[in-house]
């Protein structure tokens, strides 16, 4: 019941189904064994006493009780299946809700394949434990008790035989179940195999392009061999007890009747003994099925417990490192300060005791080598991650003191690869401010240079984007994203490589859109195009998570430091061409 209580908390609205399923299945078990009692009465009347009229009466009762037992078991199964499907759905919903509200660091540390497999596979593992095991568990544990009572009601010889079978079955059953530690290793190896397989499939294009050999996927190879080893060893550990179990129950007729044939002359009433023998065979079959259900119950309960523990650990990890929010709704100003901020991705330290301040309504650029911490600074300021230590302050107050709504509405983020939805161009822009009037949305699109885009289409701004509509170039999508940011009217704008992959045809219009977006805002730009940041108010040069230089373009060039080197490298790369001789 511990496992079921753990599972039932995810389906409070259907919990009654679980308890009803257990109760109805228990009643079904009683009627089934009661039906076997009438089988005994039928045999006694027909074989021992020769009273066929009473035997006919008992045969009707047999059909009635066994049919009633089957119907109740069916109802119990329907109730448990409804509960199981609702449980699976709720576990997946909780996973989706957790993903929509989880920190960005969670996605950095867990691949999408791993997340999907963990949620889908573990949610599915709970199905059998609830849909089939709820009714089966009741019968598995109640039927042996009822059978023992019935066997002694029939006679001491029947009772003694069933007791011996029960004890033997219990001892053998322990060997068939396998140890809990072994099952944990087996399940862990199965999880690793699933995860590594997903990663391998996702990397097939790399294998195809670069001709990589399978041997290079050591993690997948190890996962396969570990799983095969544990699966094989587990099968071997269960083999002997299972074969002995089958021999005892399937060979019970030979085990009992062969030695019994030597003592037939000493049996007082052979007809009564034959009835008892028949009942032993009937009841041993019932016991065999019940003990098999107990074995499957044990395995499925372990799987369900392991699955829900895995899911709960994943749900907990989704909530780790989330930025906590406060009650402050108003920003006194939009000055930004990083106060001894440290941050890491797992074991990889990116920022350590980083401190700097930025004045409001100025434009700043962050430059540096890849991995220097530029994008991390931007993401921390946007509230995508929680800092390990230190504080990020806006308007003199830590980010955590503001409400989520205040942070979201006052900070806009323009990515390198902006995502648009399968909606109209107008709807893609309007979602930035649901209260905005149509004139405001159209004005934002005009400022972002979208007039040229919508003029190409018959439906204008109502043109649908995506598989059911039109496809836009990278620059066109970026202009729509900028229109969205303009409409949002956030005082702080962060642009992470927003112009990195823009074609020459769109660059002029895009630069005009950026100018309109940045007007009277506190702007932080991350760019590899050094020409796009030369006119900003101040440039911060980062190296190994620290600000090593800051100033405008002219002063930094005069310093002949890291910025000057980066600028020189950019100019060299920009002038680089492949000559005809090199092509030949």
Determine the angle formed by the axes of helices 474-488 and 438-447, rounding to 10 degrees: 130
Q: Which two tokens stand for residue 428?
A: 């893609």
Which is more confidently placed, 69 or 196? 69
Domains of the chain: 2-180+236-319 (1.20.1560.10), 336-416+488-583 (3.40.50.300)
223-255 per-residue burial string, b: 16 or more CB within 10 A, e: under 16 = bbebbeebeeebeebbeebbeebeebbeebeee
User: What is the pLDDT at residue 245?
Assistant: 73
Q: How confident is the model at residue 583 (pLDDT cuts 50, 70, 90)?
A: very low
Q: Which two tokens stand for residue 461?
A: 């701004």
Q: By C-alpha distance, which of 11, 63, 9 is closest to 35? A: 63
What average pLDDT does range 150-179 have in this prediction? 80
Instruction: Answer yes or no: is pLDDT of 258 > 80.
Output: no
User: What is the pLDDT at residue 37?
Assistant: 93
User: What is the pLDDT at residue 396?
Assistant: 85
Instruction: Answer yes or no: is pLDDT of 449 > 90.
Output: no
What average pLDDT does range 49-53 have in this prediction? 87
Would you state the torsion angle of the CA atoms of residues 310, 316, 321, 323, taken in this order, to the nearest 10 degrees?
A: 150
Among 48-57, 60-69, 185-194, 316-325, which stretch is predicted with the lowest mean pLDDT?
185-194
Instruction: Answer yes or no: is pLDDT of 2 > 80.
Output: no
Which is more confidently placed, 448 or 21? 21
* Spatial separation of the C-alpha atoms in residues 341 and 336, rounded to whole Å: 13
What average pLDDT does range 448-469 have in this prediction? 77
User: What is the pLDDT at residue 580?
Assistant: 47
Please, how many CA atoms are within 13 Å of residue 301, restricted to the half-sphere of its CB?
A: 17
Among 114-123, 290-299, 465-474, which stretch is predicted with the lowest mean pLDDT?
465-474
Q: Exposure of 96 by Cβ count < 10 A (0-12 exposed, 13-18 middle, 19+ buried)?
A: exposed
Instruction: Answer yes or no: is pLDDT of 524 > 70.
Output: yes
Among 150-159, 306-315, 564-573, which stretch is predicted with the lowest mean pLDDT?
564-573
* Spatial separation of the C-alpha atoms in residues 485 and 141, rounded to whole Å: 64
Q: How confident is the model at residue 195 (pLDDT cuts 50, 70, 90)?
A: low
Edge-to-edge strands, sheet with 522-526: 411-414, 492-496, 522-526, 363-367, 538-543, 546-551
HEC string of 333-371 equals: CCCEEEEEEEEEECCEEEEEEEEEEECCCCEEEEECCCC
* Cβ contacts of 441 within 8 Å, gap of 6 or more: 426, 429, 430, 487
Q: Which of 112-126, 230-244, 275-289 reaches the highest mean pLDDT?
A: 275-289
Sign of the torsion angle spanned by Cα atoms 346, 350, 352, 355: negative
What average pLDDT does range 173-183 have in this prediction? 63
Instruction: Answer yes or no: is pLDDT of 250 > 80.
Output: no
* Spatial separation of the C-alpha atoms in residues 276 and 106, rounded to whole Å: 65
Q: What is the pLDDT of residues 203-221, one digit of tens each?
A: 555 454 444 455 556 766 7
What average pLDDT does range 161-186 have in this prediction? 72
Beta bridge partners of 539: 365, 551
Determine the angle formed by the axes of helices 156-177 and 270-319, rounding to 10 degrees: 30
HEC string of 189-226 equals: HHHHHHHHHHHHHHCHHHHHHHCCCHHHCHHHHHHHHH
User: What is the pLDDT at residue 209?
Assistant: 44
Instruction: Answer yes or no: is pLDDT of 364 > 80.
Output: yes
Instruction: Answer yes or no: is pLDDT of 367 > 50.
Output: yes
User: What is the pLDDT at residue 579?
Assistant: 47
* Spatial separation of the C-alpha atoms in residues 144 and 27, rounded to whole Å: 14
Q: Which of 39-48, 242-251, 291-300, 510-519 reaches the highest mean pLDDT?
A: 39-48
User: What is the pLDDT at residue 570?
Assistant: 63
Which is more confidently placed, 47 or 382? 47
Instruction: Answer yes or no: is pLDDT of 445 > 80.
Output: yes
Which is more confidently placed, 269 or 395? 395
* Spatial separation of the C-alpha atoms in residues 393 and 337, rounded to whole Å: 5
Among 34-38, 186-190, 413-417, 429-433, which stretch is predicted with the lowest mean pLDDT?
186-190
What average pLDDT does range 419-440 have in this prediction? 83
User: What is the pLDDT at residue 182?
Assistant: 60
User: What is the pLDDT at residue 541?
Assistant: 84
User: What is the pLDDT at residue 260?
Assistant: 61
What average pLDDT does range 491-517 have in this prediction? 67
Report the DSSP pairing between strands 411-414 and 336-345.
unpaired
Q: What percent of the chain has pLDDT over 70?
A: 80
Q: By C-alpha distance, which of 91, 466, 526 is closest to 309? A: 91
Host H or E run for residue 261: none
Which is more confidently placed, 192 or 366? 366
Instruction: Answer yes or no: is pLDDT of 455 > 70.
Output: yes
3-state helix, strand, coil in the chain (%, to 5): 65, 10, 20
User: What is the pLDDT at residue 413?
Assistant: 79
Q: What percent of the chain has pLDDT over 90?
A: 10
Q: Which two tokens stand for residue 457?
A: 């289409």
* Spatial separation of the C-alpha atoms in residues 424 and 411, rounded to whole Å: 24
Helix, coil or strand: residue 232:
helix
User: What is the pLDDT at residue 357?
Assistant: 87
User: What is the pLDDT at residue 510?
Assistant: 64
For residues 17 and 82, the answer to whether their CB atoms sit within 8 Å is yes
Q: What is the pLDDT of residues 58-89, one digit of tens each?
A: 999 999 999 999 999 999 999 999 998 998 88
Average pLDDT, the chain: 78
Q: Which two tokens stand for residue 255?
A: 């085990």
Tally Cβ neighbours within 10 Å of residue 201: 11
Annotate 97-114 with DSSP letters as a single string.
HHHHTS-HHHHHHS-HHH
* Spatial separation of the C-alpha atoms in residues 441 and 582, rounded to whole Å: 51
Sign of the torsion angle spanned by Cα atoms 343, 345, 349, 350: negative
Which is more confidently placed, 258 or 51? 51
Q: How confident is the model at residue 303 (pLDDT cuts 50, 70, 90)?
A: confident
Annotate 441-503 with DSSP letters as a single string.
HHHHHHHTT-HHHHTTSTTGGGPBBSTTSB---HHHHHHHHHHHHHHHT-SEEEEESTTTT--
HEC string of 541-556 equals: EEECCEEEEEECHHHH
Q: What is the pLDDT of residues 541-560, one digit of tens each?
A: 888 888 888 888 888 888 88
| Residue 536: C-alpha distances to residues 346, 432, 497 (Å) | 34, 26, 15
Which is more confidently placed, 573 or 357? 357
For residues 368 and 350, the answer to whether their CB atoms sit within 8 Å is no
| Residue 544: C-alpha distances to residues 67, 354, 367, 368 (Å) | 76, 10, 12, 9
């Amino acid at each position: 019941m511990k496992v079921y209580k753990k599972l039932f908390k995810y389906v409070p609205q259907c919990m009654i189904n679980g308890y009803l399923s257990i109760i109805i299945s228990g009643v079904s078990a009683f009627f089934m064994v009661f039906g076997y009692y009438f089988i005994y009465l039928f045999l006694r009347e027909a074989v021992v006493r020769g009273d066929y009229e009473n035997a006919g009466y008992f045969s009707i009762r047999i059909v009635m009780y066994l049919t009633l037992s089957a119907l109740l078991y069916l109802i119990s199964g329907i109730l448990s299946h409804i509960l199981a499907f609702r449980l699976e759905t709720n576990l997946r919903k909780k996973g989706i809700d957790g993903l929509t509200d989880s920190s960005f660091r969670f996605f950095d540390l867990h691949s999408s394949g791993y997340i999907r497999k963990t949620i889908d596979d573990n949610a599915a593992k709970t199905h059998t434990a609830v849909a089939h095991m709820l009714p089966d568990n009741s019968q598995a544990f109640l039927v042996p008790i009822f059978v023992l009572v019935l066997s002694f009601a029939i006679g001491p010889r029947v009772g003694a035989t069933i007791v011996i079978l029960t004890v033997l079955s219990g001892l053998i059953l322990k060997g068939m179940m396998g140890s809990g530690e072994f099952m944990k290793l087996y399940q862990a190896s199965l999880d690793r195999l699933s995860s590594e397989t997903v990663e391998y499939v996702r990397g097939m294009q790399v294998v195809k392009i670069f001709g990589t050999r399978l041997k290079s996927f050591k993690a997948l190879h190890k996962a396969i061999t570990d799983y095969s080893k544990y699966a094989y060893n587990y099968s071997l550990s269960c083999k002997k007890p299972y074969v002995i179990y089958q021999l005892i129950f399937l060979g019970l007729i030979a085990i009992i009747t062969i030695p019994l044939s030597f003592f037939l002359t000493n049996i007082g009433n052979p007809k009564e003994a034959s009835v008892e023998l028949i009942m032993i065979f009937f009841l041993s079959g019932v016991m065999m099925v019940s003990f098999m259900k107990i074995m499957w119950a044990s395995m499925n309960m372990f799987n369900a417990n392991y699955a829900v523990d895995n899911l709960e650990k994943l749900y907990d990890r989704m909530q780790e490192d989330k930025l906590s929010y406060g009650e402050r709704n108003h920003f006194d100003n939009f000055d930004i300060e990083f106060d001894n901020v440290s941050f890491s991705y797992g074991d990889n330290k990116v920022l350590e005791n980083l401190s700097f301040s930025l004045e409001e309504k100025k434009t700043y650029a962050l430059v540096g080598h890849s991995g220097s911490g530029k994008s991390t600074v931007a993401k921390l300021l946007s509230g995508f991650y929680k800092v390990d230590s230190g504080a990020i302050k806006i308007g003199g107050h830590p980010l955590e003191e503001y409400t989520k709504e205040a942070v979201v509405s006052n900070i806009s983020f323009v990515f390198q690869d902006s995502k648009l939805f399968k909606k109209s161009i107008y709807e893609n822009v309007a979602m930035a401010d649901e209260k905005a009037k149509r004139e405001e949305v159209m004005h934002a699109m005009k400022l972002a240079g979208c007039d040229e885009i919508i003029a190409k289409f018959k439906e204008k701004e109502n043109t649908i984007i995506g598989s059911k509509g039109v496809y836009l170039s990278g620059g066109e999508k970026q202009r729509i994203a900028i229109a969205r940011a303009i409409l949002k009217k956030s005082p702080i704008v962060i642009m992470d490589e927003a112009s990195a992959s823009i074609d020459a045809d769109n660059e002029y219009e895009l630069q005009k859109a950026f100018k309109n977006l940045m007007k009277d805002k506190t702007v932080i730009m991350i760019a590899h195009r050094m020409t796009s940041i030369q006119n900003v108010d101040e440039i911060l040069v980062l190296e190994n998570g620290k600000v090593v230089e800051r100033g405008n373009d002219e002063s930094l060039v005069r310093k002949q430091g890291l910025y000057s080197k980066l600028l020189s490298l950019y100019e060299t790369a920009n002038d680089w061409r492949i000559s005809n001789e090199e092509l030949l």
